[in-house]
Structure 1
C-alpha cells in the first residue's frame, strides 16, 4: 500500500490527537444523506480513508452495513477500538481489497483529496452496484471569521507544495480541482451539493492540538512543532477568542457532494 508520506507518518504519530481534536459532522447532513441515497438496513456503504471513524460512526447509525477502509495502522486500530461492530480493512482507496459490486454507496469523508483519483475512481466504479452513489464530505474552516483565517494561514504557510489539501475556497489555486476527474467521464450524474454550518464547541487546548494533528505538522521535529504551537497560541490570544475557562467555538462548514452512478 502507498500513501502520501505526510499522511502515513503524520497520522501514525497523531491518531489519538486526531480523534480528540477533530469535529464530527451535523446529524442533519447525515439524515439528508440517509434519505437521499438511501442508507438503511439491507444496504452497504464503504467508507474510504475512514481514519479513526469520525464519519464511520454516523454511517453506522443508519442501520446500513459499513465497511471501513483505512491504510494507517494506528488510525485503524483506534477505529476498531471505538467501533467494534464495524468491519475495517487495511486497504487504500486505490486498492480496497473488497469484492466488486459490494456497495450501494461509497463515502470519502475528509479524505478524497489524499487519493490518487485517477486510480481511486475506477476502484469506486468497481465497488458500486448499478444506481449507487459516491459521497464526498469535507469539514472546512469558516474563514469569514478573522481569527480562523489567521489560523488557517499558518497551516498553508507550512504545507509542502505537494501536500494534498481539502477544496477550500480561500486556498490559492483552483478550489474545485477535484471535480476535473469526473468531467466527461461516462456513467456519472452531475454533482449534487449541500452545505451545513458546523460550529464545533471546543477549547483553546484542543484548537492548538487540531493544528498539531495536521499531517504535515505532526511530522516536524520537536523544535519546529514548538514554534508552531507558540504561533497558534499567539493567534488565539491576539483575537481573544476564548472565555476565562478556555472554552471557545471553532466554526466549520460541512460540504457534501453526491455523484450517482448510472
Structure 2
C-alpha cells in the first residue's frame, strides 16, 4: 500500500479518538454553502466521506434529513454510535449508494483531497438534483497566530504535512464555477494533552512509528505547557473553515 493510501486508511483504528478530538464545523459555513438553493429549511443532504459524523451532527442540528456515506467500517460505526437517527451507509465518493437526482446538497468535510476527482465529480453530479449544491470544507488552524505556527512546527513528522486549503478542484461540465468563502471557528481544548490528542488524529502522525510519535508528543507538550505556564490550562484554538461550493447545472 502506498503512503497516500496508508494515510487515507489510517483513521479507522483511531475512530473514537477522531470523534472525541477533531473540531466540528461552523454553522455559518453550512448556511453559506446552501444559499444557492434559496432556502435553508429542511433539505435532503448527503454527507460524503462522513467519518465519525463531525459534520453530520451539525447538519442534523440544522434540521436537515441527512444520509451519511463513509467507506471505513470503524468510522461509520462510531458515527452511528454518536449521531442518532441518521441514515448511515457504507460507500465511496467514486461509488455513492444513493439513487440518481435524490439529494439537494452534497457536503464533504475535510475529505475531498482523498477523492479521485475524475470519478467522484460525475458520481456526485449523478446523485444531486439539478440546482443542487456540492460543498466541500476544510477546518484548519489559523496559522496567522504565532503559537499555532510554533505548534505546527513542533508537530512535523517524517511524513510531510498536508495543508488542504485551497484545494485544486477540477472543472466539470455538470457544475457551475466554484465559489469560495472563509469562516472563523474555535476549537475548545481543556488542556495541553487535549490539544496534542487533536494533533495526533492527523494522518501524518498516525502513520509514523511509536518512538517518533512519542518524541513529537513530548515536544508539543513542552511548548504548550511553557506557553501557558500551568499544566492544566485550557485553550481556545482559533481555526478557519475554508469552503467552496458549486451548483449542479442541468444536463
TM-score, scaled to structure 2:
0.88
- CA drift at 1:17: 1.2
Pairwise CA RMSD of aligned residues? 2.2
User: Quick one: distance in 1 between partners of 2:225 and 2:230?
Assistant: 11
User: Quick one: distance in 2 between partners of 1:250 and 1:222?
Assistant: 26
Q: Residues 62-113 of structure 1: CA distance to partner in whole angstroms, max 9, x if unpaired? A: 3322110111111111100112311111101111222221211111011111
Q: Residues 144-167 of structure 1: CA distance to partner in whole angstroms, max 9, x if unpaired? A: 11121122234554324xx8x342
The answer as to whether partners of 2:113 and 2:167 remain within 8 angstroms in 1 is no
Task: Find the counterpart in structure 2 of residue 167 from structure 1.
Answer: 164
Q: Does 1:217 align with 2:232?
A: no
Q: Does 1:144 align with 2:132?
A: no
TM-score, scaled to structure 1:
0.85
Task: Find the counterpart in structure 1 of residue 113 from structure 2.
Answer: 113
User: Quick one: distance in 2 between partners of 1:121 and 1:188?
Assistant: 9
Task: Find the counterpart in structure 2 of residue 237 from structure 1.
Answer: 225
User: Quick one: distance in 2 between partners of 1:36 and 1:153?
Assistant: 39
User: Quick one: distance in 2 between partners of 1:214 and 1:17?
Assistant: 11
The answer as to whether partners of 2:158 and 2:208 remain within 8 angstroms in 1 is no
Consecutive aligned runs of 4 or more in structure 1 exceeding 6 Å deviation: none
Q: Residues 29-50 of structure 1: CA distance to partner in whole angstroms, max 9, x if unpaired? A: 3344455433433x31111110
User: Quick one: distance in 2 between partners of 1:23 and 1:204?
Assistant: 16
Task: Find the counterpart in structure 2 of residue 5 from structure 1.
Answer: 6
User: Quick one: distance in 1 between partners of 2:22 and 2:229?
Assistant: 18
Seen in structure 2, the aligned counterparts of structure 1 residues 201 and 149 have a Cα distance that, compared at 3 Å, is same
Task: Find the counterpart in structure 2 of residue 173 from structure 1.
Answer: none
For 1:14-25, list aligned pairs within 5 A.
Answer: 14-25=14-25
Seen in structure 2, the aligned counterparts of structure 1 residues 23 and 125 have a Cα distance that, compared at 3 Å, is same
Seen in structure 2, the aligned counterparts of structure 1 residues 259 and 68 have a Cα distance that, compared at 3 Å, is same
- CA drift at 1:235: 2.6
Structure 1: which 5+ residue stretches go unaligned? 169-175
Structure 2: which 5+ residue stretches go unaligned? none
The answer as to whether partners of 1:138 and 1:166 remain within 8 angstroms in 2 is no
For 1:177-188, list aligned pairs within 5 A.
Answer: 177-179=167-169, 181-182=170-171, 185-188=172-175
User: Quick one: distance in 2 between partners of 1:244 and 1:177?
Assistant: 37
Q: Residues 2-60 of structure 1: CA distance to partner in whole angstroms, max 9, x if unpaired? A: x822221x21221111111111122333344455433433x311111101111101111
The answer as to whether partners of 2:34 and 2:105 remain within 8 angstroms in 1 is no
Aligned residue for 2:11, secondary structure, equals helix
- CA drift at 1:244: 5.6
Aligned residue for 2:107, secondary structure, equals strand
Task: Find the counterpart in structure 2 of residue 189 from structure 1.
Answer: 176
